[in-house]
Chain A
Amino acid sequence: MKRTASVLAVVLLAAGCSNGTSNSGGSSGNTPGVTDTEIVVGTHMPLTGPAAAGYSKIAPATKAYFDYVNANGGVNGRKITYKIMDDGYNPANTQTVVRQLVLQDKVFAILNGLGTPTHTGVLDFLKTNRVPDLFVASGSRSWNQPEKYPDTFGFNPDYTVEGKILASYVKQEHAGKKVCFLGQDDDFGRDSLAGIENILGPVTAKQSYVTSNPNVGPQMGALKAAGCQVVMLATVPGFTALSIGTAAKIGFKPAFVVSNVGSDPTTLAKSLGPAAPLLEGVVAANYLPLANDTANPWIQLYTKVNTQYNNNAELDNNVVYGMSVGYLFVQALQAAGKDLTRDKIIQAVEKGGFTGPGLVPVRFSDKDHSGYAGEQLTTIKGGQAAYFGTPFTTDDGDGAVTASTAAPAVPPANGIPAS
């Protein structure tokens, strides 16, 4: 009994020994995570597991941009600390790490938490604790519910918008062909399919996959059996590669049209290995400058930041994405003013009007919490993605798909948004 008691005591001590610092003071009163010199924000990302391919580079890129801003004086004298937690794309882990960020690390906000199935599970928790939930890294329509989740904002164009834009292209370029769909078995796949069927009507065949079962042989076999000529994918990068590779293996060669989040050519080529030439001609879409467009001033800025603060990681579209998130967050912080509180940043984001690297505007307002308004199509040639046509915008209802006329912005000279 004595030994048991001492074991218990040791464990309790160990569990209690790292309680961290409690209340943070500072000019912003008792806003969690904000002091005169620091703003602590956190995120959850798949750094490991089936969805980590490509996505694991996003948060380090965002952090690198923050480090760049910090080295240039920070925002209103505060340096940004970015806590990156790995959830392995497992909704159960997301629960734990987000609680840890909010309750233990006392972050000011959750920024760019990645994934539809993962982030959906923490919406209620973040709402209860009134934590700003900014620029979720996913295109689910769930982030755009200002009445139900007033503190949550998206970043990506929503998957229905994307589905409509991709389907419009298919309708025009592959008229009369059999169009099929493979999507993730959650809101990502469902929202995407809703957009596609809004334009094309019912697809010939649809299949779904779960990230916990890394075998899409049966699904691709069924699509082949259905005689599909165009296959639209709402897949994360690992599964995009797996689907294209598996199709080739069974002698199935449809035209592939891929959701933005599963289309970074660098990531796909790495996953496919020697089969990378299969990517030629794959059509996808994007809304940020492409990493290989070295003439673009944003890419030049990001390359500089990447070299100085990101260990010169290979610059792909995930890095561009991560830095763009960082840029937008700094814009929001600037807009929220010197006396930073959680309410003020929400108000600042709802006021909207941010211009940045995007080819289309961000839509934030008090009525609309969705992110970018549309996308432009890309195709892969010689292993590199390139834009074609014009950017399109649309809504997630029955609105028409229209060409966007917004002129792209140019980054400020020092690469940091002005206050």
Chain B
Amino acid sequence: MTIVRDRVATTLHALPGKRRINPILVVVVAGAIIVALTYTLPAFRTYQLATVGAYFCVTAGLTVLTGLNGQLSLGHGALMATGAYTLALWQNKFNMLIPGVIVAILVTTAVGAIIGLAAARLRGPYLAGLTLAVAVVVPSISSTFDGTFNSDQGLPVALNPPPESILVEQWQAWVCWIAALVTVLALAYLTRGRFGRDMRAVRDDETAAKLAGISVARTQVLAFVVSAACAGLGGALFAVLSQSVSPGAFPLTLSLFLLMAIVIGGLGRLVGALIGALLLVALPAIAQEIGQSAGSQRLEGNLALTFFGVVLVVVMIAAPGGLTSIRLRRTKTTRTRNELKQKGR
């Protein structure tokens, strides 16, 4: 068992430990691959590629929050909705995409700060329950204020068409991936620096972190704010992709899928967030193909649902180390102490 834990402990910290590869280099190579793909893939695949980019923004932010800081959020679907609706309202009024995306990020950041302030005071199942309620309740706000948000029907998103020479899907993929790569670069640098150290220290042992002069609450709120900003960006990108927003696009299952995405790829790792984002797009599509070839309507959506569920359960049970370094309560297990020792801190 110790061996497993040791390995997990190292992989969890693979991100900051990966000093030999410069993140800028990774991003440039990734950018080149994306551009190449947008010229070779057929239109629908390019659209899916763009969707992966949008998901990647969200999963990258969430894996930092949950993996590095140890806070579980089931409410990131609702934060995405915040970003998406902000962009929609902005676009329908001003139709300027780049300022709109920035406003969407700012608004979501503000909302994230509020939830983060509450979250910093809550532990374990209480935090999970609160964010779960946020995920279920926030979409219903669209029908409470149906004058602004137009209820279940949602809002269209005004967008200027891209230049004639570029396919819509190509343009979408570029927009999404520029945003995703910038996000990842920012997160990579952020988590390598002092802030990343603080987050891990708080996750591993709040008391020790306090003794070392780290403000626990401040670090937790900040982590929530950063990941909320990423979710807001991702939400805004989804609004751009579908040219419309509606509450049905942000159901509870979306928040659960996001959690699955970061768990399966290894919590706290940006590469894991990428794998998760890919699976979020690929698996439902594959499940649908299987469903169609089996001629069963019932299989289509449900196959992906079941698979995601099995992944969550199996990963959590078979690789219990995956989440053990995350603590949501002020507990001090011998294990974390051992881990700290092994890491020579």
Which residues in A have some Cβ–Cβ distance to B below 8 Å? 4, 7-8, 11-12, 14-16, 18-20, 22, 47-48, 86, 88, 90-93, 95-96, 99-100, 103-104, 116-117, 120-121, 124-125, 128, 185-187, 208, 210-213
Interfacial chain B residues near A20, Cβ < 8 Å: 42
Q: Could you say which of A11, A88, A125 contacts B243, with CB atoms under 8 Å apart? A: A125
B293: nearest residue on chain A (CB-CB)? A18
Contact B143 A16 (CB under 8 A): no
Contact A186 B151 (CB under 8 A): yes
A93: nearest residue on chain B (CB-CB)? B248
Interfacial chain B residues near A14, Cβ < 8 Å: 282, 286
With A and B bound together, what is the CA distance between A48 and B139 in angstroms? 20
With A and B bound together, what is the CA distance between A99 and B289 in angstroms? 15
For residue B153, CB closer than 8 A to chain A, the reply is: yes
Interface positions of B from 271 to 291, Cβ below 8 Å from A: 271, 274-275, 278-279, 281-282, 285-286, 289
Query: Can you show 30 pairs from A to B with CB atoms below 8 A apart?
Result: A11-B275, A14-B282, A15-B278, A18-B289, A19-B45, A48-B297, A48-B301, A86-B300, A91-B248, A91-B249, A92-B249, A95-B243, A96-B242, A103-B42, A103-B169, A116-B153, A117-B151, A121-B154, A121-B242, A124-B244, A125-B243, A128-B168, A185-B146, A185-B153, A186-B151, A186-B153, A208-B146, A212-B140, A213-B140, A213-B143
Contact B246 A117 (CB under 8 A): yes
For residue B24, CB closer than 8 A to chain A, the reply is: no
Interfacial chain B residues near A86, Cβ < 8 Å: 297, 300-301
> Given A99-B44, A121-B244, A121-B246, A15–B154 Cβ distance below 8 Å?
no
B288: nearest residue on chain A (CB-CB)? A100
B281: nearest residue on chain A (CB-CB)? A15
Contact A210 B152 (CB under 8 A): yes
Interfacial chain B residues near A104, Cβ < 8 Å: 42-44
Interfacial chain B residues near A99, Cβ < 8 Å: 44, 47
Contact A19 B42 (CB under 8 A): yes
Q: Could you say which of A7, A8, A121, A208 contacts B156, with CB atoms under 8 Å apart? A: A121
With A and B bound together, what is the CA distance between A120 and B161 in angstroms? 19
Contact A91 B168 (CB under 8 A): no
For residue B247, CB closer than 8 A to chain A, the reply is: yes
Interfacial chain A residues near B243, Cβ < 8 Å: 95, 121, 124-125
> Given A128-B161, A186-B153, A187-B153, A15–B285 Cβ distance below 8 Å?
yes
> Given A15-B285, A19-B45, A128-B161, A92–B242 Cβ distance below 8 Å?
yes
> Given A15-B45, A90-B248, A92-B249, A117–B154 Cβ distance below 8 Å?
yes
Interface positions of B from 127 to 159, Cβ below 8 Å from A: 139-140, 143, 146, 150-154, 156
For residue B191, CB closer than 8 A to chain A, the reply is: no
Q: A7-B275, A91-B246, A91-B249 are in contact. List 13 more A-B contacts (CB 8 A).
A: A15-B45, A15-B48, A15-B282, A86-B300, A86-B301, A91-B248, A95-B242, A96-B242, A117-B246, A121-B243, A124-B156, A186-B153, A210-B152
What's the nearest-Cβ distance from chain B to residue A208, in Å? 8
Contact B143 A210 (CB under 8 A): yes
Contact A185 B143 (CB under 8 A): yes
For residue B314, CB closer than 8 A to chain A, the reply is: no
> Which of B153, B156, B281, B301 is the most central at the interface, judged by chain A CB atoms within 10 Å of its CB?
B153
For residue B41, CB closer than 8 A to chain A, the reply is: yes
Interfacial chain A residues near B250, Cβ < 8 Å: 92
What's the nearest-Cβ distance from chain B to residue A168, in Å? 28
With A and B bound together, what is the CA distance between A95 and B305 in angstroms? 19
Interfacial chain A residues near B48, Cβ < 8 Å: 15
Contact A16 B45 (CB under 8 A): yes
What's the nearest-Cβ distance from chain B to residue A206, in Å? 13
Interface residue total, chain B, C-beta cutoff 8 A: 41
* 6 closest cross-chain pairs (CB), A and B: A92-B249, A117-B153, A90-B248, A103-B44, A186-B153, A104-B44
Interfacial chain A residues near B151, Cβ < 8 Å: 117, 185-186, 208, 210
Interface positions of B from 236 to 277, Cβ below 8 Å from A: 242-244, 246-250, 271, 274-275
> Given A92-B242, A128-B168, A11–B279 Cβ distance below 8 Å?
yes
Interfacial chain B residues near A103, Cβ < 8 Å: 42-44, 47, 169
Interfacial chain A residues near B249, Cβ < 8 Å: 90-92, 95
With A and B bound together, what is the CA distance between A22 and B168 in angstroms? 18
Contact B278 A91 (CB under 8 A): no
Contact B153 A47 (CB under 8 A): no
Interfacial chain A residues near B154, Cβ < 8 Å: 91, 117, 121
Contact A4 B271 (CB under 8 A): yes
Interfacial chain B residues near A117, Cβ < 8 Å: 151-154, 246
Contact B41 A16 (CB under 8 A): yes
Interfacial chain B residues near A11, Cβ < 8 Å: 275, 278-279, 282
Contact B152 A211 (CB under 8 A): yes
Interfacial chain B residues near A12, Cβ < 8 Å: 278
Interfacial chain A residues near B143, Cβ < 8 Å: 185, 210, 212-213
Interfacial chain A residues near B140, Cβ < 8 Å: 210, 212-213
What's the nearest-Cβ distance from chain A to residue B265, in Å? 8
> Which of A86, A210, A211 is the most central at the interface, judged by chain B CB atoms within 10 Å of its CB?
A210
Contact B42 A22 (CB under 8 A): yes
What's the nearest-Cβ distance from chain A to residue B271, in Å? 5
With A and B bound together, what is the CA distance between A12 and B40 in angstroms? 13
Interfacial chain B residues near A116, Cβ < 8 Å: 153
What's the nearest-Cβ distance from chain A to residue B56, in Å? 12
With A and B bound together, what is the CA distance between A95 and B249 in angstroms? 10
> Which of A7, A15, A104 is the most central at the interface, judged by chain B CB atoms within 10 Å of its CB?
A15
